[in-house]
Structure 1
Amino acid sequence: MTIDNKKLLIFDFDGTLIDSVPDLADATNAMLTTLGKDTYPIDTIRNWIGNGSRLLVERALVGKVDVAEGDLTVEEADHAEQLFFEAYTKIGGSKTIAYPDVDSGLKKLHAAGYTLALVTNKPIRFVPKILQTFGWQDLFSEVMGGDSLPTKKPDSAPLLHVCTQLGIIPDQAIMIGDSKNDILAGQNANMDTLGLSYGYNYGQDIRELNPTAAFDHFADLVEWIMQTNA
């Protein structure tokens, strides 16, 4: 399997480049504690991450992945989400780490001439500080958060917006991520997709979503891109 003529690599953030679950779990439990509700272990909260902060908050409030209409009022969710944002801001990413070989891999791809972009469902307000923490702020030519546009992944709009901003056609881009939101967004944008198995995909094997290729280690993904798109 090969890919040709690719210029743009669009990366997901949480679960792909960074493991932010410990901080997100702490913020979620801080929110629940403030509201007088039961807290949850990190492994439970891990399965609620990947669709943006609003759905994470709603899942925590009802204690399950599937939130049904009528489970919560808008006012309840709004108030809880604000408490979550306040807690997450205070935590400041103290427990967030980069996955193995991500730092060196991103720099290798950037040095090889690829244009890198970041499209995450995380609210954009939290992204710049994390990028600066890892020294990645100059690696990405375009950065999109889950609230940068009216729609987020798995909608194709953020990916297509990045392509338009950078003057690169979707056929010359690859979407890289760890969850079905990433793979579906890439497929919806008619892009090749690369999956990583170690992130947050609700217990589903990323390979079941039929990405162009899938990898268990970031270093293997980088090597594959370098070799197949030479």
Structure 2
Amino acid sequence: MTVHSIRYSDLHSALQGKRLIAFDLDGTLIDSVPDLAAAVVHTLKTLELRAPSEAEVRDWVGNGAPVLVERALTWALQAPPAPALLARGYDIFMAYYGAAPHVHTTLYPGVEQALRALHQQGVTLALITNKPERFIEPLLHHFNLLTYFTLWVGGDSLDEKKPHPMPLLHAASRCQISPAECVMVGDSRHDIAAGKAAGFMTVALPYGYNHGEPIEDSHPDLVLSSLTELLMTAPHATRTA
């Protein structure tokens, strides 16, 4: 059997001179909705409330676990939940999701190849997500992505989370790289807003979670269909038997 191995020669021409690329996680690197939806359904059923479909949960993802639980409860109750109910729901959700965060979660096509190629080229990679920090390392370890990232920032790592620019500016400062030399890659308006506010170049992917809105409406600097488009291929792909 013949296997084709694509050889990457450089960054996409629009990214020349960029030294740090920060990635969102859910909806950008991984499709985590199946496991998040299972946790939401479990939470609502435990509270004896009606449960949503996976498609409905998909539109609620993107602002972190507390907001996801609040949106789910508001949908089920048709009204904002009382603080005590919200706290109980969050505890139920975190316990269930924390026990099984990657049963049905998958990598999007091209993710591992792109991260490996960028890492080999010496680009500094960071992960900036609104997911609670405790879940980041287990997920990266499960998908064998840990070695590619210099640092990661969760939604509860700092005082602010996306769309606030603080996590992005924190990553740039920790890596001693100017924001003008940085890129934010994500799938939602929160990623793009954070990137613009931090002075990063913004790159959007249309396949993730953006509350049912076209990502083009957020006016990113660049829209790509796959992470592999962050790189240019060499004139001739290598072929190995």
Q: Same fold (TM over 0.5)?
A: yes
Stretch moving more, 89-98 or 197-206: 89-98
Q: Which residue of 1 aligns with 2:193?
A: 184
**1:57 matched to 2:69:** yes
Mapped to 2, the partners of 1:92 and 1:152 lie a distance apart of 21
Please state how far the C-alpha of 1:77 moved relative to its aligned partner. 1.1
Q: TM-score, normalised by structure 2?
A: 0.88
Q: Which residue of 2 aligns with 1:115?
A: 124
Runs of 4+ in structure 1 deviating by more than 6 angstroms, as ranges, are: none
What is the letter of the counterpart of residue 53 of structure 2?
P
Q: Which residue of 2 aligns with 1:16?
A: 28
SS of equivalent to 1:48: coil
Question: Aligned residues, how many?
Answer: 222
Mapped to 2, the partners of 1:54 and 1:21 lie a distance apart of 15
SS of equivalent to 2:232: helix
Tell me the alpha carbon deviations over residues 90-147 of structure 1, each in whole angstroms, 9 at most, x when there is no partner. 2231111000010111101110110000000000011110000011111100100000
SS of equivalent to 1:125: helix
Higher relative contact order (CA 8 A, sep 6+): 2
CA RMSD of superposed structures (Å): 1.8
What is the letter of the counterpart of residue 165 of structure 1?
R
Mapped to 2, the partners of 1:221 and 1:203 lie a distance apart of 24
**1:219 matched to 2:228:** yes
Q: Which residue of 2 aligns with 1:137?
A: 146
Equivalent runs, 1:132-171 vs 2, <5 Å: 132-171=141-180
Q: Which has the larger radius of gyration?
A: 2
Q: Which residue of 2 aligns with 1:201?
A: 210
Please state how far the C-alpha of 1:216 moved relative to its aligned partner. 1.7
8 A Cα contact 1:153 1:181, kept in partner: yes
Q: TM-score, normalised by structure 1?
A: 0.92
8 A Cα contact 1:176 1:194, kept in partner: yes
